[in-house]
Amino acid sequence: MDTLLIGQYIKCLRKTAGMTQKELAEKLNVSFQAVSKWENGDTLPDTGILLELCDALNTTADKLLNGGRLAAVERRMMRLEDVMTGFHYLESIGELFGEDCTFFTGMIKGINETMNIDLLAYLKDPETREVMYAEVLIQGILSGRTVDMDEIEAGFANKSMIETIRRYLSKAAGAPEATA
C-alpha cells in the first residue's frame, strides 16, 4: 500500500468536500494531527474508523486504500454461475412481463440487432447458450476482469470454449501464448 498516495487522496477528497483537517477530525472523533499524519502518508487511518472516513469523504474503502484507483473493481472476479444467472434473469423478463410486452420485445430486438443473432433461439440450444456464456466472460476479460479457470473447466462441456477463454485470460495477464 502506498501510504503517500492514500494520504494525497484523503487530502484531495477532504478539500473537495470543503472541510478543514479539524472539521474532518471532529466528524471522526480523532485529532486533527491524526488527519495530518494520514495526509502526509505517515500513518493510515485505523480500520475501526475506515468506513466512517469513507462515508465522510464520499468514497469506498477499496478506492481509498488504492489511492483513488479502482484496481480492485477493474480486476474483479467473474463467476460462471453469475453469468448463467444473468441469462436466466434475462429470459425471466419475458415470463414476468409477458413475451408480447414492449420492454421484453424491445430488449430482445436490441440484442438481436446489436449482436446479429436470434437470442431466444440461441438460449434454447445448449451449445449456443454455452457460446454466449463464453462471449460474456471474454468481454469481461477484455475489460479487465478475471475468471477462475477451474470453474470454467468444470462448467463448460465445450473444450474449445475452455481453451478460447484460457487464451484470452493469458493474453490479458500478459503471458506468452503457448505454441503447438
Which of 74, 103, 125 terminates a domain? The answer is 74
Q: What is the 3-state secondary structure (H, E, C) of the chain?
A: CCHHHHHHHHHHHHHHCCCCHHHHHHHHCCCHHHHHHHHCCCCCCCHHHHHHHHHHHCCCHHHHHCCCCCHHHHCCEECHHHHHHHHHHHHHHHHHHCCCCHHHHHHHHHHHHHHCCCHHHHHHCHHHHHHHHHHHHHHHHHCCCEECHHHHHHHCCCHHHHHHHHHHHHHHHCCCCCCC
Judge if 169 and 108 occupy the same domain. Answer: yes
What pLDDT shows up at residue 176? Answer: 54
* pLDDT tens sequence across 5-32: 899 999 989 998 899 999 999 999 999 9
Domain that holds residue 132: 77-173
Mean pLDDT over 141-167 rounds to 93
Q: Is the pLDDT of residue 178 over 70?
A: no
The answer to the question of residue 96 being in a domain is yes
The answer to the question of residue 48 being in a domain is yes
The answer to the question of residue 179 being in a domain is no
Judge if 54 and 93 occupy the same domain. Answer: no
Q: Is the pLDDT of residue 97 over 60?
A: yes
The answer to the question of residue 114 being in a domain is yes
Judge if 64 and 149 occupy the same domain. Answer: no
Judge if 69 and 81 occupy the same domain. Answer: no
* pLDDT tens sequence across 128-141: 999 999 999 999 99
Q: Report the DSSP beta bridge partners of residue 171.
A: none
Of the pLDDT bands very low, low, confident and very high (cuts 50, 70, 90), residue 174 is: confident
What pLDDT shows up at residue 75? Answer: 55
Q: What is the mean pLDDT of the chain?
A: 89
Mean pLDDT over 112-118 rounds to 94
How many independent structural domains does the chain possess? Answer: 2
Judge if 86 and 10 occupy the same domain. Answer: no
Judge if 81 and 155 occupy the same domain. Answer: yes
- Express as a percent the part of the chain with pLDDT over 70: 93
Which of 14, 48, 74 terminates a domain? The answer is 74
Judge if 68 and 82 occupy the same domain. Answer: no
Of the pLDDT bands very low, low, confident and very high (cuts 50, 70, 90), residue 172 is: confident
* pLDDT tens sequence across 32-91: 999 999 999 999 999 899 999 999 998 888 888 888 765 544 458 899 999 999 999 999
Judge if 7 and 57 occupy the same domain. Answer: yes
Mean pLDDT over 102-122 rounds to 94
The answer to the question of residue 178 being in a domain is no
Judge if 81 and 93 occupy the same domain. Answer: yes
